Amino acid sequence: MSWRRLYAEGALSVVSAGEELVPASDYRALQHQRELQRLLGKKTLETEILRDALDLAQPKKTAVAVTLVGSGRHAMKTVADTLGVARSNLAVQVASAKVMRRRGRPPQPNAALLAEIKAIIAELPTYGYRRVHALLRRQREQTGAPAVNVKRVYRVMKVHGLLLQRHFGAGIERRHDGRIAVDRSDIRWCSDGFEIGCDNGERVRIVFTLDCCDREAISWVATTGGIDSSDIRDLMVESIERRFGL
């Protein structure tokens, strides 16, 4: 048959090349020995991983696996297979642990900075963290001390409850319950404005001043354009001239 012929030709070519012939049984034994060595190395690696896991002595296998992978000594797949955890979950845990790891220099002590901030707001309690930072920067420039970051000032004031209360535009409505009318003229004036829609589509805007005693309209300004600061100044000057002269 053809395979017998090819087998014989191959054997003859090996003999002609001067190479040693290895029996098939010996070849299979070598292959078996190589497989045993591979399995032995794998088991040795798994034993080492388990020994490291016992040294960590953490309650959950996933936490142990994250720590082992984070150390960089073992591959993620090997750790997952040895400890019996899902590699996908382990990958997510390792990624989140890297994100949560703090980077940069460690935080500086805040006792001295807190004392400086308290000294400033003791005299100026209405100052926020930006003004406090400006004063701190000016003081440190004069003394030659290193500058402080505005974010650090904000963080220290926030931790110790030294920030001003934010105004969100909501809250109790402010009502004016005081007395507006007066007994004599030219003691208190008030002003107001309104607009009138005309038939041709234009609008007349009027601003006026009133005396809070007799409610007399002292002066007024009317225009079809917008009321600006110059109109208000002219209104005040004309009101003063009408009541008190030039």
CA distance 176 to 182: 16
pTM above 0.85, yes or no: no
Output the CA–CA distances (angstroms, integers) from residue 166 to 129, 161, 163, 171, in the order listed.
12, 13, 9, 12
Give backbone dihedrals phi and psi of 99, rounded to 5 degrees, phi first: -70, -40
Q: What is the pLDDT along the chain (246 residues), one digit of tens a residue?
A: 565 665 555 555 544 444 555 556 666 776 777 777 777 777 777 777 766 765 565 557 777 777 777 777 778 888 888 777 888 887 887 777 765 555 666 677 788 899 999 999 888 888 889 999 999 999 999 998 888 999 999 999 999 888 888 766 666 666 656 666 788 888 889 999 999 998 988 899 999 999 988 888 999 999 988 888 899 999 999 999 999 988
CA dihedral 68, 73, 75, 80 (to 10 degrees): -20
